[in-house]
Amino acid sequence: MGIWAVWSWLPSLLNLVLLLVGLFLILLVLIQKGKGGGLAGAFGGSGGSSAFGSRAGDTFTRITIYVALFWALLIMITIKVVPLTVQSQPGDTNELIQPGPRGPSLPEGDAQ
């Protein structure tokens, strides 16, 4: 097993964790109080108070930064670990054309 060889279940697990962390990050951003009052202000909530206390803004900001860093790290790991696979269908004629060392060659009659 090579250094970047992975178990067959690992890409699915990484994608699931990435999805859940992304949704959690979206929720964290939505519950924060911004300049416009946050999500609570959109539904008629009071702009000056927070349901989580007065110091909740600092805590949510710190948690959001850590979750965003973890999310970015998880994306980098997923890109490195999950193999790039191309699934071909039966009868598919798409093939990669590899040029020679001098580039694509011209037909014999078209030589300049």
| pLDDT digit string, tens, across residues 23-82 | 999 999 988 876 655 555 556 555 555 555 556 567 888 999 999 999 999 999 988 887
Name the pTM for this structure: 0.55
* Phi-psi map region of 91: left, alpha, beta (phi>0 left; psi -120 to 50 alpha): left
Q: If pLDDT is split at 50, 70 and 90, which confidence band does 98 have?
A: low
CB of 60 within 8 A of CB of 31?
yes
Return the pLDDT at 106.
Answer: 63
